[in-house]
């Protein structure tokens, strides 16, 4: 999921949040799967938090998928047990993504307003969102739409209309429901709404003193959480209006990080344990692929799950769920890794449009020179 993707270049390890050195992953698999950043550095804890967020979401959808299958098979205790109860909280992974996104997107603005660092150029800000995030999203949505049309579940014109709305991030607004193409895309539409509004919200960092600024942020968080969000209905329940409070959490953390935490030479004692866990290379690496995993996991789960669901279905709910996890999650990670390396990771290079243009022009020049050289 695009939880702050595209702002990773601004994340530098320092002080409290960056006491763990930037992870420079060695050769092999980790090196191939590592996110690219402009600086070559990133806060490992952020990507590890993304890992936990995507793990929660995948666990939620997997458990729900298996439980629904068992209920349709009229199996006793379908969807029951502590493991299903635990997985049912996995949907909060989306809210965690929103908080991470609020922090990462707010960070360069907070540095400008609160630390007199480089000004955020809005043209570059929006262009980065476009070049970094759109290619993986557009390609995935078109592929899913073609598969949906090929399966003849919906008329081609219906698939086309829903694809168009999804590509414009307007599906929830137009149809007041989740995307027909990829049901999880509703949260990506909210992310885009936040990206558009973030530069305006970031002017909150210009407020002085700090106590007043943070009090206003907390007030906005409370108002959106307890007054606005509970009263959203219809098409509004799948928009930023229903989830803005989570992004404000990220804003508050960005404020504290820039003004307080990053100045500390060492992390506080209470953070060292979590920091050791969140600094693990595999967590950070898989978390760095969260956008791709989020994009593909639901259609992939639906496709492969229908083939694997009969396996261990008549054992116990726990064994059935465990079997499905072993059969589905590893292939999901493999497919996601391939898509990440071929599509998303190249787009992390902010110069990729220019590189692609130069290559196309180079091929064209070579093609034009070939006949003349052959004539000699």
What pTM was estimated for this model as a whole?
0.89
Task: Give the pLDDT confidence of 133-182 residue by residue, as tens digits.
Answer: 999 999 999 999 999 999 988 999 999 999 999 999 999 999 999 999 99
pLDDT in tens, 191-207: 999 999 999 999 999 99
* pLDDT at residue 348 greater than cutoff 60: yes
Q: Tell me the average pLDDT across 116-140.
A: 96
**Rounded mean pLDDT of 309-335?**
95
Q: How far apart are CA 340 and CA 32, in angstroms?
A: 10
The answer, yes or no, to whether residue 16 has pLDDT greater than 50, is: no
Query: Tokens for 248?
Result: 């404000």
Q: What is the pLDDT of residues 248-264, one digit of tens each?
A: 999 999 999 999 988 77
Those residues with Cβ within 8 angstroms of residue 323's Cβ, 6 or more apart along the chain or in another chain? 308, 311, 312, 315
Confidence category of residue 373, pLDDT binned at 50, 70, 90: low
Compute the distance between CA of residue 300 and CA of residue 65 in angstroms, rounded to an integer: 12
Mean pLDDT computed over every residue of the chain: 88
Instruction: Assess contact for 95 and 239: CB atoms under 8 A.
Output: no
Q: Report which DSSP code applies to 208.
A: S
Rounded Cα gap, residues 170 and 172, in angstroms: 6
Q: What is the pLDDT of residue 6?
A: 40
What's the rounded mean pLDDT across residues 10-39?
Answer: 52
Stretch (H or E) spanning 14: none
- What residue spans define the domains of the chain? 8-370
Instruction: Identify the pLDDT of residue 83.
Output: 94
Long-range CB contacts (< 8 A, 24+ apart) of 139-142? Answer: 139/343, 140/182, 140/295, 140/296, 140/339, 141/166, 141/167, 141/181, 141/182, 141/185
Whether the per-residue pLDDT at 124 is higher than 80: the answer is yes
The residue-averaged pLDDT of 268-272 equals: 79
Q: How big is the chain, counted in residues? A: 376
pLDDT band at 331 (very low <50, low <70, confident <90, very high): very high
44-72 and 317-339 helices, crossing angle to 10°: 130
């Amino acid at each position: 999921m695009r939880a702050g993707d595209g702002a990773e270049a601004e994340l530098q390890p320092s002080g409290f949040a960056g006491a763990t050195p930037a992870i420079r992953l060695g050769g092999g698999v980790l090196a191939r799967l590592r996110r690219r950043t402009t600086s070559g550095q990133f806060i490992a804890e952020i990507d590890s938090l993304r890992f936990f967020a995507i793990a929660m979401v995948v666990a939620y959808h997997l458990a729900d998928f298996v439980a629904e299958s068992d209920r349709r098979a009229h199996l006793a205790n379908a969807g029951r047990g502590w493991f299903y109860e635990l997985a049912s909280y996995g949907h909060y992974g989306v809210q965690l993504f929103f908080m991470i996104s609020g922090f990462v997107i707010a960070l360069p603005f907070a540095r400008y307003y609160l630390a007199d660092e480089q000004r955020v150029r809005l043209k570059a800000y929006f262009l980065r969102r476009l070049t970094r995030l759109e290619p993986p999203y557009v390609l995935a949505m078109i592929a899913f739409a073609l598969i949906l049309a090929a399966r003849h579940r919906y008329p081609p014109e219906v698939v086309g209309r829903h694809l168009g709305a999804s590509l414009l991030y307007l599906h929830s607004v137009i149809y007041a429901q989740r995307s027909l193409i990829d049901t999880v895309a509703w949260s990506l539409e909210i992310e885009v709404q936040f990206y558009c509004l973030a530069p305006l919200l970031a002017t909150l960092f210009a407020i002085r003193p700090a106590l007043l600024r943070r009090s206003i942020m907390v007030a906005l968080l409370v108002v959106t959480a307890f007054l606005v969000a509970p009263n959203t209905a219809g098409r509004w329940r799948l928009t930023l209006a229903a989830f803005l409070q989570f992004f404000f959490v990220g804003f508050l953390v960005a404020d504290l990080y820039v003004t307080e935490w990053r100045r500390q030479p060492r992390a506080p004692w209470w953070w060292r344990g979590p920091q050791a866990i969140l600094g693990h290379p595999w967590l950070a690496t898989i978390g760095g692929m969260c956008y791709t995993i989020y994009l593909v996991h639901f259609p992939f789960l639906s496709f492969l799950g229908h083939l694997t669901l009969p396996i261990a279905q008549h054992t116990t709910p726990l064994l059935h769920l465990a079997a499905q996890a072993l059969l589905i999650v590893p292939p999901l990670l493999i497919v996601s890794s391939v898509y990440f390396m071929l599509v998303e990771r190249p787009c992390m290079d902010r110069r990729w449009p220019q590189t692609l243009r130069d290559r196309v022009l180079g091929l064209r020049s070579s093609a034009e020179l070939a006949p003349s050289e052959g004539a000699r």
